Amino acid sequence: MNNNWYKNEEEEKLAEKLISMEKAALKKWFTGDSSGYRDLWSKKNFCYFDAVCVNRVDTYDEIAKLATERVDGRLYAKHYEVRNERVQAAKDMAVLTYQLYCESNLININYNCIEVFKKEDDDWHVIHSTWSVIRPMEMDFSAMKEIV
């Protein structure tokens, strides 16, 4: 972890916690189990953008349904790697950014990931998530296998 970004030990510990939560959700995700993210996403206030979704997803129920239909028992990563993690925090809000390099059974894709966390009921949850393709002009989506 790059300690130069964090002003004090408290910020560094928060960064470690949020990064750990995200990596735990990813670990499940890439074994065909969306429950890690379903637990991480805010049930009170959530929205989501993804490179393969035309419109923004505006509710927890909507994203949970999509995740269950598209991921559970279907998505498996041959290899994935999280790089360049950084957390920027202020009071009860924090933004985690990182890059994800993934080789999966559906598509090999590299993402810039943005997770906006908010402290709710004494725990941290993602209220907004954006997954955008790194250098999309170089991405060939024609090899993507049907998800549903």
Per-residue pLDDT tens for 28-74?
999 999 999 999 999 999 999 987 788 999 999 999 999 999 899 99
| Closest by CA position to 11, among listed 87, 100, 105, 121 | 87
Tell me, which fold does domain 3-143 have in CATH? Nuclear Transport Factor 2; Chain: A, (3.10.450)
**Assessment of whether the complete model's pTM goes beyond 0.85:** yes
How many other C-beta atoms are found inside a 10 Å radius of the C-beta of residue 118?
Answer: 18
What is the secondary structure of 49-72 as a DSSP string? Answer: EETT-SS-B--HHHHHHHHHHHTT
Supply 102's token pair: 């993934």
